[in-house]
A = this chain, B = another copy of it.
């Protein structure tokens, strides 16, 4: 899913935003690239380890979001999870478990995707709304929680 030149592309993008691609930022991007779904600051901190303090992790997330490298996902109460932006990870949707709160990426076949896209455009037109993106979130129970 993730480009082989991920670091190259992120470096480029951060350069365009006049910020450096530092160690802390690299490790965050790397952790998100290895995830099969969005991750919260706490989850990333657990995964990355205490070498990257929470305050620094939060600031890295903020910088990466401003640069458009990652995007926030708000599927759970009082918790923001992040994932690589779609220009890096590809367009996809989510399976959200109502039991354990986990969120997993899911891709949908192109033909279905184009149908959804057309529907989104049609609905937006009818509401004088300018669509930029759409998210299909499927809520239910994951295989572990069944």
Residues of A within 8 A of B (CB): 72, 74-78, 80, 93, 95, 98, 104, 106, 108, 112, 115-116, 119-120, 123-124, 127-143, 146
Contact = CB atoms under 8 A, between A and B. Distances in A.
A114 to B, nearest CB: 12
Contacts of A98: 132
Given A138-B123, A139-B131, A139-B134, A78 B78 contact: yes
14 contacts: A72-B77, A98-B132, A106-B127, A108-B119, A115-B115, A116-B116, A120-B138, A124-B138, A124-B140, A129-B140, A129-B142, A133-B140, A134-B136, A134-B137
A132 B140 contact: yes
